[in-house]
Amino acid sequence: MDSRRTSSIIKLGTKTGYYGLLSASYDDTRFGGAFGRLKNWWEQRVVMQAVKDTGNIQRVLDVPCGTGRFLRSLVDKIPHLVGADVSRDMIDLSRQHCTFKGQSTGHLEYVHCDAKNLPFRNDSFDLVVSGRFLHHLFHLPQAMRIQVMQEFARVSRKWVLADFNIQFGVKYYWNKVRAVLRRKHFKSRRMTRTEVFGELTEAGLKVEQVYPISWVVSEKWYILCRK
């Protein structure tokens, strides 16, 4: 039996790949129920505002595209879209979701690839979007995280929009207090704002605008960078 279809997570390149049943349940697990739908709506709202702020853009790369949440929102707004992911199962789900919604997908392409070696020429896109990905790389050496962000910068003509989990917000500090109360070691996979901005600078990106999901509650920030 193919282990890729039975294992919940697979290390492939710099990304944790989602396969089989795990990929099929990805949206329901994270965005099911009233709270999940609200979280998805709020995140989509933030991302679409950031995309709007980039001005007149023609070509967008979504990496990793996952089940195509952002692609479905962008397909009627952007002339040329490319979704890239390390998991073929996720790409298949994205394609099915767009087809099911009856959206025109003639200008939407998919590419199976690893984020640290994107198979595109320099300056291929006006904007590179990356959501729910970079926090998976916090356990890797800093040089590898920067390499991924450099790839985003390389294939973009101007803009990169990516999300980061920051040491910020009620959720982060509540988890920290709870660990102390339970006398457990607080394991944070969050970086400080200074650390994130520093790595973006090393990757050749300049922070243009920060879009927190919520300034009070959330630890997730979308950061729009200029090349």
pLDDT in tens, 154-213: 999 999 999 998 887 677 777 777 777 888 876 666 888 999 999 999 999 999 999 998
CATH code linked to domain 3-226: 3.40.50.150
Q: What is the DSSP letter of 88?
A: H
Distance, in Å, from the CA atom of 47 to the CA atom of 92, rounded to the nearest integer, reads 23
The β-bridge relationship of strands 59-62 and 80-85 is parallel
Please say if the pLDDT value at position 53 is more than 60: yes
Distance, in Å, from the CA atom of 16 to the CA atom of 27, rounded to the nearest integer, reads 16
Instruction: Please work out, in degrees rounded to the nearest 5, the angle formed at the alpha carbon of residue 173 by the alpha carbons of 36 and 186.
Output: 100
Amino acid at 70: F
Distance, in Å, from the CA atom of 111 to the CA atom of 84, rounded to the nearest integer, reads 5
Please say if the pLDDT value at position 114 is more than 50: yes
87 with 19: CB under 8 angstroms? yes
pTM of the predicted protein model: 0.82
Q: Where are the domains of the chain?
A: 3-226
**Residue 8 pLDDT:** 34
Distance, in Å, from the CA atom of 25 to the CA atom of 18, rounded to the nearest integer, reads 10
Distance, in Å, from the CA atom of 7 to the CA atom of 107, rounded to the nearest integer, reads 33
